[in-house]
Amino acid sequence: MASTALTTIRSNCRKVMCIGRNYADHVKELNNQRPKQPFFFLKPPSSILLPGEGPVLRPAGVNMHFEIELGLVIGKTVKDLQTEDDEEILQYIDSYLLAIDMTGRNVQEEAKKKGLPWSIAKGFDTFLPIAGPIAKEKVRDPHNVELFLKVNGETKQEDSTELMLFRIPRQLSDISKVMTLEKGDIVLTGTPKGVGAVKTGDVMECGLRIGGEEVEEARMRVE
Amino acid sequence: MASTALTTIRSNCRKVMCIGRNYADHVKELNNQRPKQPFFFLKPPSSILLPGEGPVLRPAGVNMHFEIELGLVIGKTVKDLQTEDDEEILQYIDSYLLAIDMTGRNVQEEAKKKGLPWSIAKGFDTFLPIAGPIAKEKVRDPHNVELFLKVNGETKQEDSTELMLFRIPRQLSDISKVMTLEKGDIVLTGTPKGVGAVKTGDVMECGLRIGGEEVEEARMRVE
Ligand SMILES: [Mg+2]
Ligand SMILES: [Mg+2]
Ligand SMILES: [Mg+2]
């Protein structure tokens, strides 16, 4: 069941900014170019799926991929932020989320080929399952947590956020020079290697470990 | 100055869905392909600029284009809508807006070339000036209103919404099969021909006419 806190997070969310290609091995597995600077795209708040709300829905004809990511809930306005400092950004973070950036991979590949927007590929209803929130105090260093995702019991993704190409200060700084991050906005920080397809009936389990210990609030199961 | 109604519209907005390439002559002027079905992309609510809030800000190095559009404010949930009926959609529309879908054209062209998302090109702060709202009752037929935009007194865009390639029922139907439209969401219905660049200091004036008469609430001036 979704916590009240998580329900509030969804109702307060006005944009979801996602960082693309932020782990080197994930960039390689999709045959993409390693970016010279962070790039990002929007998912709509309507795609958020809370625990207990049911399965991720695969749209007809869509090759649906999972991407496990560390999410940030923004706690106060971030605008034109100039920093590369890990400590300085903590004041802008309210809490953390575990999130799956579900992606219509064939829809995205088609869009990329045609130079079209990614909003459809990334924006279907139920394409953003989240768990948490994880209190800021629990996460001593957001660049040192382990994310994992299993499909039907088999581990598919399992990596540390220390592998991020662009760290969180750089992400928030770059986003905030384009668009103001408002209290309640969500930022997804990119996915490590191992993304893949799920079909109707598959069960995704995922979680987040800090210092080898699993954080209870950040466990999620999606059918 | 922004009306209370407009301030409320901004605070209730959780996504802005924009239709691309919805007027044949605009498709031609940008050397694009005429789409077989409506396609759409998100702008963030943080890009909304209300009357009296100041100029549209041109980010350094950005070739900033105007696109005048008719906007819809969604009045109730639209999900999996099946209709091509002009009357049926009226129940989902709360009111109308005049909107400028400001676009970083060079940023967008670069994104298109590289297969990257459009979110940056479309999402800068101040890139969505809006005016209104225009009461639903004032607009007998949203496919028969005239939009115009002038730069420094010179008319740049002036066309009727009857030229839309995909009419509003089809737009809402197609969007709602991908993502649920929620009360308060905004839909931009595409721009007619005549888009072009503005630079710092230029003054855009725009408005909306019904049966040849200008609708007062839908006049906007942006420096
Ligand atoms: Mg992702
Ligand atoms: Mg949005
Ligand atoms: Mg447009």
Of A40, A46, A112, the CB nearest to B115: A112
By the CB < 8 Å criterion, does B184 face chain A? no
Say how many Å lie between the CA of residue A41 and the centre of ligand 2.
Answer: 10
pLDDT over 70 percentage in chain B: 99
Mean pLDDT of A132-137: 95
**Beta strand pairing status for A204-210 and A213-214?**
antiparallel
At residue A102, what is the residue type?
M
In a mutagenesis test of the B interface, which of A40, A172, A178, A185 is the best target, namely the one with the most B β-carbons within 10 Å?
A178
Distance from CA of B211 to the nearest CA of A (A): 35
Of all ligands present, the nearest one to the C-alpha of B118 is: 3
Q: How far, in Å, CA of A51 to CA of A53, rounded?
A: 6
Interface of B with A in 129-168 (CB under 8 A): none
**So what's the pLDDT on residue B97?**
97
Put simply, the answer to whether B46 touches A117 (Cβ < 8 Å) is no
Strand partners, A69: A99
Put simply, the answer to whether B120 touches A20 (Cβ < 8 Å) is no
Say how many Å lie between the CA of residue A154 and the centre of ligand 2.
Answer: 33
In a mutagenesis test of the B interface, which of A19, A116, A128, A177 is the best target, namely the one with the most B β-carbons within 10 Å?
A116
Strand partners, A198: none
Predicted confidence band of residue A33 (pLDDT cuts 50, 70, 90): confident
Which residues 6+ apart lie within 8 Å of A116 measured at CB? A110, B20, B39, B112
pLDDT over 90 percentage in chain A: 86
Instruction: Please give the DSSP secondary-structure letter assigned to residue A170.
Output: H
Put simply, the answer to whether B178 touches A123 (Cβ < 8 Å) is yes
pLDDT tens, position by position, B142-193: 999 999 999 999 999 999 999 999 999 999 999 999 999 999 999 999 999 9
Predicted confidence band of residue A96 (pLDDT cuts 50, 70, 90): very high
Q: How far, in Å, CA of B142 to CA of A5, rounded?
A: 41
**So what's the pLDDT on residue B1?**
59
Put simply, the answer to whether A13 touches B13 (Cβ < 8 Å) is no
User: Which residue, among A8, A99, A10, has the nearest Cα to A46 in the 3D structure?
Assistant: A10
**So what's the pLDDT on residue B7?**
97
Among all chains, which residue has been given the structure tokens 């009419």?
A: B167
Of B42, B59, B112, the CB nearest to A119: B42
Does B3 have pLDDT greater than 90? no
Q: How far, in Å, CA of B178 to CA of A176, rounded?
A: 28
Of all ligands present, the nearest one to the C-alpha of A188 is: 1
pLDDT tens, position by position, B150-162: 999 999 999 999 9
Please give the ipTM for the structure prediction.
0.95
Nearest-10 Cα torsion for A124, A126, A127, A132 = 150
Of all ligands present, the nearest one to the C-alpha of B117 is: 1
Does B122 have pLDDT greater than 90? yes
Which residues 6+ apart lie within 8 Å of A211 measured at CB? none
Considering the segment(s) B4-222 as one domain, its CATH architecture is Alpha-Beta Complex (3.90)
Say how many Å lie between the CA of residue B180 and the centre of ligand 3.
Answer: 20
Distance from CA of A67 to the nearest CA of B (A): 17
At residue A169, what is the residue type?
P
Nearest-10 Cα torsion for B163, B125, A37, B103 = 20
> Which of A23-32, A109-118, A159-168, B55-64 shows the lowest per-residue confidence on average (mean pLDDT)?
A23-32
Q: How far, in Å, CA of B142 to CA of B139, rounded?
A: 6
By the CB < 8 Å criterion, does B9 face chain A? no
Q: What angle do CA B143, B145, B148 make, to 5 degrees?
A: 130
